[in-house]
Amino acid sequence: MKIVDLKCTVVEGYPLVRVDTDEGISGIAQIEKPKHYIKPHVLFYKRFIIGQDPTNVERVMLRIRNLGGFKPWGSAVSAIEIALWDIAGKAAGLPVYKLLGGKIRDRVLVYNTGIGPAPTGFTPEEYAESARRRKALPEGFKIFKFGVAFHTRMPAVIPNFFYGEVEEGPTPYPNRGRLTERGLKHIVECVKALKEVLGDEYGLALDCGPGFDVQSALSLAKALEPFNLMWLEDMITGDYTPYTAVEAYRLVSSNTTTPIHTGEQIYLRYGFKDLIENNAVDVIGPDPCDIGGLAELKWVAEFADLHGILIAPHGVFDGIIGVAALTQVCATLPKNFIAFEMPVIEPVWWELVKGLPNPLVKDGYVEVQDKPGLGVELNEKALAKYLPEGDDFLDYSSKK
């Protein structure tokens, strides 16, 4: 079997990737919705993989892995890797989890960041109302994550929130600096309101940055110790930060009982090496669509397990194919697995992608599917209506 083509299109903001073979088997993958600009980067890799055997996933990846980088520049490599596993599973007639070593769980716990009504503002009351409404969702989520501080517009909305000039530019997370006492107390009050709604029956995590200095991060972590949070995420460096402040994270995590989390932007196992070996955080959150794919995520999970570090993979914008990929790999992860971040699935995608049950989340879990590959297929007749004019994504002329 040989790879004969690599295609990419953008549908409803999501890049879709397809790898074709000379035996008529194709693999698919999806890239995060905010990365609609990544299509040329995906197609750049075509020259390196044409003619290769897609079932030798690692051999193919060795040809392109060194050409990626921290989020967002690892997403193209990651998507190609996921599509290769889809082909390998279909060719073998097995679900991807079988090729990754087999599952150790039949259903996978997920957590909710983006599903249901978000807070309408940044007051404790608005956070509490969102928690009440999300708690009542039919999916029965058991863990919720809310954005606070520098991961939101809170620094721009709450007066005197931090010591620094407020910026509201086009780049993600433009603000950083030292929290004021008022800013610290405001976050604590929001968490208190959330916990009054959720109690000890539900897990609560917070997406906090990047943007904190070490002292503010530690002050917040210690102030929140009585609330028994699941984790504080990306406080210092993180989302869209092309490096990891290992020593800074170690200083925080080693001085608080509140779990500290990072990792969604990190590319490849090498990016996690120092973070894990120094026990700099308590929880890592790699995204399969950024780390380099499914096998890379599993390798890092096992390495983290050796060091007593937990894993809760990221995925809020990975889409419906991302759900399938996350479920397959998370079924195989060691006992350090907590839950993966359930991607938001807009209604149109249930028309465009076939294979998953709807509703998908039941009692906070996703059942592991046993269909070959990722267990999903494109509904090409429906998809054709959403392609940009002149797009050749559904052209299979290169197949033999």
Tens-place pLDDT, residues 51-82: 999 999 999 999 999 999 999 999 999 999 99
Q: Cα separations (Å) of 259 from 252, 299, 320?
A: 10, 22, 29
Mean pLDDT value across residues 145-165: 97
Give, for 361, the enclosing helix (H) or strand (E): strand 361-362
Residue 49 has pLDDT above 90, yes or no: yes
Residue 391 has pLDDT above 60, yes or no: yes
* Residue 27 pLDDT: 98
Residue 309 has pLDDT above 90, yes or no: yes
Mean pLDDT value across residues 325-334: 98
Which tens digit of pLDDT belongs to each residue from 109-125? 999 999 999 999 999 99
Q: Cα separations (Å) of 323 from 30, 108, 149?
A: 10, 11, 28
- At residue 155 the predicted structure's pLDDT band, cuts being 50, 70 and 90, is very high
Residue 194 has pLDDT above 90, yes or no: yes
| Residues 314 and 287: beta-carbon distance below 8 Å | yes
Sign of the torsion angle spanned by Cα atoms 367, 349, 240, 205? negative
Helices 124-135 & 181-198 angle (0-180, nearest 10) = 30
Q: Residue 169's CB: how many other CB atoms inside 10 A? A: 8
Share of the chain above pLDDT 90, in %: 97
3-state SS track over 284-345: ECCCHHHHCCHHHHHHHHHHHHHCCCEECCCCCCCHHHHHHHHHHHHCCCCCCECCEECCCC
366 closest CA partner among 332, 328, 336:
328
357 closest CA partner among 12, 91, 107, 85:
107
Which tens digit of pLDDT belongs to each residue from 21-35? 999 999 999 999 999
Which tens digit of pLDDT belongs to each residue from 277-299? 999 999 999 999 999 999 999 99
Token couple for 217: 């991060």
Q: Which domains does the chain have, with CATH numbers?
A: 3-93+381-386 (3.30.390.10), 99-377 (3.20.20.120)
Share of the chain above pLDDT 70, in %: 100
* Residue 124 pLDDT: 98
Residue 397 has pLDDT above 80, yes or no: no
Mean pLDDT value across residues 34-41: 95
Q: Cα separations (Å) of 242 from 54, 72, 143?
A: 30, 9, 28
Residue 132 has pLDDT above 90, yes or no: yes
Give, for 184, the enclosing helix (H) or strand (E): helix 181-198
* Residue 322 pLDDT: 98
* Residue 169 pLDDT: 81
213 closest CA partner among 236, 234, 180, 183:
236
Mean pLDDT value across residues 166-192: 95
Mean pLDDT value across residues 373-394: 96
Amino acid at 100: L
In whole angstroms, give the CA distance from residue 190 to residue 118: 14
pTM for the whole structure: 0.97
Residue 245 has pLDDT above 80, yes or no: yes
Token couple for 134: 């999300």
Residue 400 has pLDDT above 60, yes or no: no
Mean pLDDT value across residues 265-270: 98
| Residues 283 and 261: beta-carbon distance below 8 Å | yes
- At residue 87 the predicted structure's pLDDT band, cuts being 50, 70 and 90, is very high
Provide the 3-class DSSP secondary structure of residue 237.
coil
In whole angstroms, give the CA distance from residue 176 to residue 47: 41
Q: Cα 369 vs. chain centroid, distance in angstroms?
A: 20
Token couple for 275: 């973070």
Decide: residue 25, CB within 10 A, 0-12 exposed, 13-18 middle, 19+ buried.
buried
Token couple for 305: 């397990």
Provide the 3-class DSSP secondary structure of residue 209.
coil
Residue 399 has pLDDT above 80, yes or no: no
Mean pLDDT value across residues 356-377: 98
- At residue 170 the predicted structure's pLDDT band, cuts being 50, 70 and 90, is confident
List, in order, residues 6 or more apart from 146 with CB less than 8 Å away. Answer: 113, 119, 127, 130, 131, 194, 204, 205, 206, 207
